[in-house]
Amino acid sequence: MKFLDRAKIYIESGAGGRGCLSFRREKFVEFGGPNGGDGGAGGHVWAEAADNLNTLIDYRYQQHFKAEAGRPGEGSNRTGRDGGDIVIKVPVGTQIFEEDEETLIADLDEPGERVLLAKGGNGGFGNARFKSSTNQAPRRANPGQPSEKRTIWLRLKLIADIGLVGLPNAGKSTFLAAVSAAKPKIADYPFTTLHPNLGVVRVGEGQSFVLADIPGLIEGAHEGAGIGDRFLGHVERCAGLLHLVDGTQDDVAGAYRTVRGELEAYAHGLARKPEIVALNKIDALSEDEIKAKAEALESAAGGKVRLISGVSGAGVTELKGELLALSKAMRAPERATEPEDAGWSP
């Protein structure tokens, strides 16, 4: 399945059915009268978050969605049938914007959450509605309300616990494959990862967290260099970041500062998220090189640096435990603010 995190779609609600202009005409009925029914209401267009989706690829092949129009009213005071609604299923974490891509309509970050995007038109009144003591035979019926048309943008931001950042070829995909069942593309050239990957990392019995790997950042990514920073939105919702630095390069401190600079330029609170820094690929370094580069990286990061290897597995188990603890610590305040079910009481 291809990954798509941005899509433009066109929606239209159903128009209301027109009211009926009709009069009662029956044999042996002395007095007739208006009996035109109302038109049916048009269908609505809804968006709903579904937890079994993880991409917007369906909306590359279908961009137009139109709800059913209401049926017109009929004689004998028969009301027209209402039009059926349309429900657009999107992955959890999808944001919906107006056509300008700036005005936020809704942020669907909970499974089953839904929002009304376009309201169906009301059905028109039939002439029976206008009967009065002074107007016994009204020859008037309302048309139904018109449909509502909108152009909207869907933007997906993956919901993960830990975000994986670093320069291209820092070993992010290798690490993701080593700690989860994900199968990202791995190769020895930059920008192997062209779209985000998710993996569930299991730590012991019944304990796990979700790790998101995004394409590598280079200097100037916030200005569009390389793949740019468009995928950084997928780690905005993460509890913390794992910053991998390739230990085989000469300037590990410079590599760290480059990525931190891009996170700060992107803003949206990424630079303030808790971060664990790890020196990767230590299996390809000597003891002296590991010590020298770890000291340089600690000086740049201003804190402890973990020493790991995604290939040999060195330090990976301990790092998984730290990431799980970080995820739990940052998610705990969110869970504490959620209202608890008071339960039944007589």
pTM passes above 0.85: no
Q: What angle do CA 234, 64, 124 make, to 5 degrees?
A: 125
Integer CA distances (angstroms), 161 to 50, 198, 275, 317, in order: 19, 10, 12, 17
For the chain, the farthest-separated pair of C-alpha atoms sits apart, in whole angstroms, at 110
Q: Is the distance from CB of 327 to CB of 276 less than 8 angstroms?
A: no
3-state class percentages of the chain: helix first, strand second, coil last, to nearest 5: 25, 25, 50
CA dihedral 294, 297, 302, 304 (to 10 degrees): -30
Q: Which residues of the chain have pLDDT under 70?
A: 1-3, 184-195, 220-230, 331-346
What is the CA angle 173-330-200, rounded to 5? 35
Q: At what angle do helices 287-301 and 252-266 cross, to 10 degrees?
A: 30
Query: What pairing do the DSSP bridges indicate for beta strands 305-307 and 275-280?
Result: parallel
Strands (E), 13-138: 23-24, 33-34, 45-50, 64-66, 86-91, 94-97, 104-108, 114-118
pLDDT at 346: 44
> Which residues, other chains included, contact 130 with Cβ-Cβ below 8 Å and sequence gap of 6+?
34, 138, 140
Confirm if 324 and 210 have CB atoms less than 8 A apart: no
Phi/psi region, residue 158 (left: phi>0; alpha: psi -120 to 50; beta: rest), is beta
Question: Where are the alpha helices (H) located in the chain, listed in sequence order?
Answer: 58-61, 172-179, 252-266, 287-301, 316-337
Task: For residues 207 and 227, give the distance between their C-alpha atoms in angstroms, rounded to a whole number.
Answer: 34
Q: What structural domains does the chain harbor?
A: 6-23+33-156 (2.70.210.12), 162-337 (3.40.50.300)
Q: How far apart are CA 119 and CA 44, in angstroms?
A: 5
Contact 321, 233 (CB under 8 A): no
- The CA distance from 287 to 277, in Å, is 19
The pLDDT value recorded for residue 191 is: 62
Task: Provide the 10 A C-beta neighbour count for residue 179.
Answer: 22
